């Protein structure tokens, strides 16, 4: 290990401390610190405007809106999903007492391959839960066609897709519901936090009940809801971060441009280019190593980078289907998921955030290019 400062895979977007102090003072003055406070209401409104969606319901993280979406839509039986994601995606299916059915991914995007969905549908299938992995939009049109044909619900895990648009429209408007994560490691964070994107007022009301134990008023409980309410401190922090997120995304874009320019001549390294008509958020910068052409394995490069103080991450290795809890599912068989295995075994997400300096970027690239 060198003496150089560690470059982490990401770094949180932090609000200005003085501005945060002013917001905290307001909370202290009001003595209203959680349960649908005024900053909470304001953030839901501002996020809906910023994202270009009808309704936002805030949550304490990005896992509980997934759990609640399945509950709200009364999903039972089997749910078709991707193995190439963070484990929370499948855990939420499990927590709702449903069976996850893994479908292979498209090697170009890392997202569930719609061409393979129909073969996985059985009479017990009730929903599809795709992920816009790394913020790259799924083939939402094809997925919706299949869902309509078989009468299935679609819940998008859009944890990575804050602000992503396709042909000028938010991809969060696709499907029956979408969920976001506002964890510290995301493009936009509220410390911990998350949200559900909802298309109509009636459903928004129901979701707000479900994240508050199911309470609909002081004495009525309409469903076995959970507690996932965002407090005022995080909502205030979120309001401040919303004012600087565009600048942060543009800084990430500039990093992506430099990575691509420098790596395009490096044999054995593949990366993803921007898709036409898509406004990307540059939440991750995955590269894929072809060990024959590159001359060393993914893990050799990964650990060499670590040695030199450059912390990439192997998101998403191992695949969810490889964890012992899910390995027993028929659909978890590696033969069923060849593209997902290939991607998981070749990926390294490079450091990607708004605060990388030119020196950091050069150091990241040197570890990869100089063999
Ligand atoms: N669906 C998808 C598709 C997801 O990716 C996720 C979460 C979810 C659902 C669930 O959303 P949440 O319930 O988490 O809101 C991270 C995050 O914990 C997780 O939110 C995220 N996805 C997942 C992909 O990555 P780790 O284990 O990689 O985090 P950690 O602690 O190793 O941090 C990574 C690096 O980030 C550190 O090396 C340095 C930097 N960092 C991290 C933290 C926490 C900071 O600089 N400051 C910090 O405060 O899981």
Residue 371: which pLDDT band, with cuts at 50, 70 and 90? Answer: low
Using the predicted structure, report yes or no on whether residue 3 has a pLDDT greater than 70.
no
Residue nearest (by alpha carbon) to ligand 1 atom 39:
8
Q: How many CB atoms are closer than 10 A to CB 247? A: 11
What is the tens place of the pLDDT at every residue in 94-129?
A: 999 999 999 999 999 999 999 999 999 999 999 999
Residues 6+ positions from 81 with CB-CB distance below 8 Å: 89, 90, 93, 100, 101, 102, 103, 112, 128, 129, 130, 131
What is the tens place of the pLDDT at every residue in 278-333?
A: 999 999 999 999 999 999 999 999 999 999 999 999 999 999 999 999 999 999 99
Calculate how far, in angstroms, residue 311's C-alpha sits from the geometric centre of ligand 1: 14
Calculate how far, in angstroms, residue 166's C-alpha sits from the geometric centre of ligand 1: 25
Rg from Cα positions in the chain: 21
**Structure token pair of residue 238:** 């979120």
Calculate how far, in angstroms, residue 62's C-alpha sits from the geometric centre of ligand 1: 10
Residue nearest (by alpha carbon) to ligand 1 atom 46:
11
58, 85, 86, 189: residue to mutate for ligand 1 pocket, most atoms within 8 A of CB: 86
Calculate how far, in angstroms, residue 361's C-alpha sits from the geometric centre of ligand 1: 21
Q: Which atom of ligand 1 is nearest to the CA of 61?
A: 15
Is 90 exposed, middle or buried, given 0-12, 13-18 or 19+ CB atoms closer than 10 A? buried
Calculate how far, in angstroms, residue 294's C-alpha sits from the geometric centre of ligand 1: 29
Q: Are 230 and 62 in contact (CB under 8 A)?
A: no
135, 177, 185: residue to mutate for ligand 1 pocket, most atoms within 8 A of CB: 185
What is the tens place of the pLDDT at every residue in 187-245?
A: 999 999 999 999 999 999 999 999 999 999 999 999 999 999 999 999 999 999 999 99
Calculate how far, in angstroms, residue 182's C-alpha sits from the geometric centre of ligand 1: 10
Q: Output the CA angle 234-251-299, nearest 5 degrees.
A: 90
- Report all structural domains of the chain as residue ranges with CATH numbers, in order of start: 17-242 (3.40.640.10), 245-369 (3.90.1150.10)
Residues 6+ positions from 371 with CB-CB distance below 8 Å: 295, 296
Q: Please state the pTM of the whole predicted model.
A: 0.98
Q: Are 61 and 183 in contact (CB under 8 A)?
A: yes
CA distance 14 to 261: 29
Calculate how far, in angstroms, residue 160's C-alpha sits from the geometric centre of ligand 1: 11
What is the tens place of the pLDDT at every residue in 134-191?
A: 999 999 999 999 999 999 999 999 999 999 999 999 999 999 999 999 999 999 999 9
Percent of the chain residues topping a pLDDT of 90:
98
Measuring from each residue's beta carbon to the nearest atom of ligand 1, which residues come in under 6 Å? Answer: 8-12, 61-63, 85-86, 88-89, 131, 157, 159-160, 181, 183-185, 194, 311, 313, 315
Q: Which atom of ligand 1 is nearest to the CA of 194?
A: 15
Pairing state of beta strands 55-59 and 194-198? antiparallel
């Amino acid at each position: 290990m060198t003496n150089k400062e560690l470059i982490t895979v990401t770094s949180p977007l932090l609000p200005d401390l003085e501005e945060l102090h002013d917001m905290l003072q307001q909370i202290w003055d009001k003595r209203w610190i959680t349960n649908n406070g005024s900053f909470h209401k304001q953030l839901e409104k501002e996020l809906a405007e910023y994202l270009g969606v009808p309704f936002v319901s805030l949550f304490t993280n990005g896992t509980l809106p997934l759990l609640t979406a399945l509950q709200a839509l009364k999903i039972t039986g089997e749910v078709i999903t991707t193995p190439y994601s963070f484990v929370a995606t499948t855990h939420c299916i499990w927590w709702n007492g449903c069976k996850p059915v893994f479908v292979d991914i498209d090697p170009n995007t890392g997202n569930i391959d719609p061409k393979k969905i129909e073969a996985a549908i059985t009479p017990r299938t009730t929903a599809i839960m795709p992920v816009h992995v790394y913020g790259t939009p799924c083939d939402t049109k094809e997925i919706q066609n299949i869902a309509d044909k078989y009468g299935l619900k679609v819940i998008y895990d859009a944890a990575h897709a804050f602000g992503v648009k396709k042909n000028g429209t938010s991809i969060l408007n696709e499907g029956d519901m979408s969920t976001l994560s506002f964890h510290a490691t995301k493009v936009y964070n509220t410390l911990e936090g998350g949200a559900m994107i909802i298309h109509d007022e009636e459903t928004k009301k129901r979701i707000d009940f479900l994240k508050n134990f199911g309470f609909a008023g002081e004495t009525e409980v309409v469903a076995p809801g959970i507690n996932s309410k965002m407090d005022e401190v995080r909502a205030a922090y979120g309001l401040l971060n919303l004012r600087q997120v565009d600048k942060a995304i543009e800084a990430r874009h500039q990093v992506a441009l430099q990575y691509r320019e420098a790596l395009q001549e490096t044999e054995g390294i593949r990366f993803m280019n921007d898709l036409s008509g898509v406004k990307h958020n540059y939440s991750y910068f995955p590269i894929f190593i072809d060990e024959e052409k590159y001359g060393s394995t993914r893990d050799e490069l990964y650990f060499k980078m670590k040695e030199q103080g450059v912390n990439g991450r192997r998101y998403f290795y191992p695949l969810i289907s490889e964890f012992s809890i899910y390995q027993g599912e028929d659909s978890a068989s590696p033969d069923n998921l060849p593209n997902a295995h290939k991607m998981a075994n070749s990926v390294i997400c490079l450091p990607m955030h708004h605060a990388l300096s030119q020196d950091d970027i050069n150091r990241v690239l040197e570890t990869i290019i100089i063999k």
